[in-house]
Chains A and B, each alone.
Chain A
């Protein structure tokens, strides 16, 4: 029998990367990532790992450059990518929320967000005619500085909101890290992916 096909995994830089490696190892992959500075793309034993910004993970997986990856449900929905998402890994849990200055009333006119698609969908759903401004950096600043009268952003603990005298007025969705798979890879590398998916699901915190 030939060796099971090898995977290429797209993982986001930063803390989610470390957590992803942890669950992938717990699911039985031997991943030797070495120490210190790493190349953007490297061979880590049982898989090749490519590191990128989280918003790019859906693109790499959808186009099949990576067979699978880990990305937040919020980022995945914003991307509009059609991927197979067989495991909710449970970590990186957060809410995507509409945030306003504490005590603000009156009609929202302009909403700033790193999630323009989801923000637009939400505003249409609630029947608001507010305009959406796409930002890439610190979105709370838009509210504090008066660029926008509301923002849609990720809330984890809420500490940033309190520090800036902001409050969460509505929750758009709840997010957590998902194990995502390219549709072709699921069929072409079935022998490797199916056992990995089942092992990931069996981990505490996963679904």
Chain B
């Protein structure tokens, strides 16, 4: 019998668990302050062959002949919740739902290259509205999320709708689109040129010109000037509309210096329909979060992002983090312990009943004070300064004084 957890899962020990709770709590408060309500969805889902991540979901057999899947992604689960509880929104009514979520997801993958099979996500969705102002709200919150945990954000922002418009203009057949979009996303002009020359179509001069434009897309990244370059490269009206949408989003930022445009972002072309983004932070080589607009994919209008909590914790670990403070008081006196806990002090309840045994217990735990009969006794052999004792005593007396006055 192994004591190790299954491949791709892990134990989280007290210091790391405390840091995780702190980070998740900070983000929940941030989203709450922006009007995002917390919702929960089941971790057990009915298996659905059309689920965007069905290939990498763990499947379980139900008691009857049904098949269940472990949650592999929050977004489709939230879309189901909208269909169940807000059918009008699911059918296209324009009414904003602002929701946040956090929890575990599972991916049935080979746990290679620094990936785990069980991990936590926190994120949000803005459902039932689709315009530049809604896109900007999501982007603002993505940037604030990184700032809130003490990291410096850098966001890459793209719009796969632009690539899609160019593929349309170039009359690229459906079965060639994913390959071309992948080469564009990797900025691999060699592959892109080879794939384009092997792609049928392009019969008209206009389609031929759009093919030339596609070759220029990998280099459309940088600051706001990219929008002008893109307008020159892609004069087709559908492509211009996608550039306008991106310009409209950027206009919602008084300071866009932490945003970088990349019009070559073209992953999951059939899923993401509008603005997409990822957030990075200096000295950390992996994205902290990713998201975008996916109108029509699961719901008529929706956008959101999700954060990999473990990644975010890893990135914040690069900064010095204070370890979780150890408990300072062991208590034999429950009412007095409640007073200290209410003031935020960590107080452990003694497992013994006599003062002598409790003092020994405190020594073993390296706790410097024993709370007994309303007073603090010093535990010999555990370091603590007198100021701490004075401060704790003041808390106990303060409660007495307040109680006396009442």
User: Which residues of chain B are near A85, meaning CB under 8 Å?
Assistant: 186-188
9-residue interface stretch from A11-19, A130-138, A143-151, A180-188: A180-188
**B286 interfacial contact with A, CB 8 Å:** yes
Find residues 226-266 in chain B having any chain A CB closer than 8 Å to their own CB: 260, 262
Which of B18-26, B277-285, B342-350 forms part of the interface with chain A?
A: B277-285
Q: Are B280 and A184 in touch, CB under 8 angstroms?
A: yes
Docked-complex contact A63 and B282, CB < 8 angstroms: no
B319 within 8 A of A: no
Contact between chains at A187 and B154 (CB < 8 Å): yes
Expressed in whole angstroms, the Cα–Cα distance for A114 and B114 within the complex equals 23
Inter-subunit contact A83/B262 (CB<8 Å): no
From B114, B186, B285, B286, A84 is in contact (CB under 8 Å) with: B186
Interface check B177, CB cutoff 8 A: no
**Given A62-B113, A63-B114, also A188-B187 (CB < 8 A):** no
Q: A187-B154, A190-B222 are in contact. Are A64 and B286 (CB under 8 A)?
A: yes
Interface residues of A in 167-207 (CB under 8 A from B): 178, 182-188, 190, 194, 207
Contact B113 A184 (CB under 8 A): no
Q: Considering the chains assembled together, what is the distance between the CA atoms of A124 and B288 in angstroms? A: 36
**Residues on the A chain within 8 Å of B114, using CB:** 63
**Contacting residue for B187 out of A59, A62, A84, A185, CB 8 A:** A84
Minimum CB–CB distance from B265 to chain A (whole Å) comes to: 10
Interface members, chain B 189-226 (any A CB < 8 Å)? 189-190, 193, 218, 221-222
Residue A86 lies at the interface, judged by CB distance under 8 Å to chain B: yes
- Knowing A84-B186, A85-B188, A187-B156, the reply to whether A194 touches B222 (Cβ < 8 A) is yes
A83 touches B186 (CB 8 A): yes
Q: Is the CB–CB distance between A65 and B285 below 8 Å?
A: yes
Residues of A within 8 A of B308 (CB): none
Q: Tell yes or no: B287 within 8 A of A by CB.
A: yes
CB neighbours (8 Å) of B221 from chain A are: 186, 190
| Distance of B319 from chain A, by nearest CB (Å) | 16
A61 CB, nearest partner CB in chain B, Å: 8
CB distance from A198 to the nearest CB of B (A): 9
Query: Interface code A55-96, partner B: CB below 8 Å = 1, 0 otherwise?
Result: 000010011110100000000000001111110100000000
User: Interface size of A by Cβ–Cβ distance < 8 Å?
Assistant: 24
User: Which residue of the partner chain A has the closest CB to B261?
Assistant: A187
Tell whether, in the assembled complex, residue B190 and residue A187 are in contact, meaning their CB atoms are under 8 Å apart.
no
Is there contact, CB below 8 Å, between A82 and B280?
no
Contact B284 A86 (CB under 8 A): no
Question: Do A184 and B287 touch across chains, with their CB atoms under 8 A apart?
Answer: yes
Q: Which of B96-116 contact A (CB under 8 A)?
A: 113-114
Residue on A nearest B152 in the bound complex, by CB: A188
**A63→B286 contact, CB < 8 A:** yes
List residues of chain B with CB within 8 A of the CB of A194.
Answer: 222
- B190 and A207 contacting across the interface, CB-CB below 8 Å: yes
Select from chain A the residue with minimum beta-carbon distance to B114.
A63
Nearest chain-A residue to B193 (Cβ)? Answer: A207
| Docked pose: A186 CA to B186 CA in angstroms | 11
Once the chains bind, are A64 and B187 in contact (CB under 8 Å)?
no
| B256 CB to nearest A CB, Å | 14
Question: Once bound together, how far apart are the Cα atoms of A188 and B259, in whole Å?
Answer: 11
Across-interface contacts of A178 in B (CB, < 8 A): 188
> Chain A residues near B188 (CB, 8 Å)?
85-86, 178
Q: Which of A62, A82, A83, A187 contacts B260 (CB 8 A)?
A: A187
Given contacts A59-B113, A82-B186, contact A64 B285 (CB under 8 A): yes
Q: Which residue of B lies closest to A64 (CB)?
A: B285
Q: Is the CB of A183 within 8 A of B287?
A: yes
Whether A64 and B284, one on each chain, are in contact in the complex, defined by CB atoms closer than 8 angstroms, is yes
Taking the closest CB of chain B, its distance from the CB of A66, in whole angstroms, is 8
Which chain B residue shows the least CB distance to A184? B280
A67 to B189, CA, bound (A): 20
Which residues in B have their C-beta under 8 angstroms from that of A81? 113
Chain A residue with Cβ nearest B278: A183
- Since A63-B113, A85-B187, A85-B188 are in contact, a sample of 16 more A-B pairs with Cβ atoms closer than 8 Å, ordered by chain A residue number, is A59-B113, A62-B113, A81-B113, A82-B186, A85-B186, A86-B189, A86-B218, A183-B156, A184-B287, A187-B154, A187-B262, A188-B154, A190-B221, A194-B222, A207-B189, A207-B190
Binding site for B on A (CB under 8 A): 59, 62-65, 67, 81-86, 88, 178, 182-188, 190, 194, 207
Interface pairs (14), CB distance under 8 Å: A59-B113, A63-B285, A64-B285, A64-B286, A82-B186, A84-B186, A85-B186, A88-B190, A183-B278, A185-B285, A186-B221, A187-B154, A187-B262, A207-B190
Ranked 5 nearest A-B pairs via Cβ: A64-B285, A88-B190, A184-B280, A86-B187, A85-B188
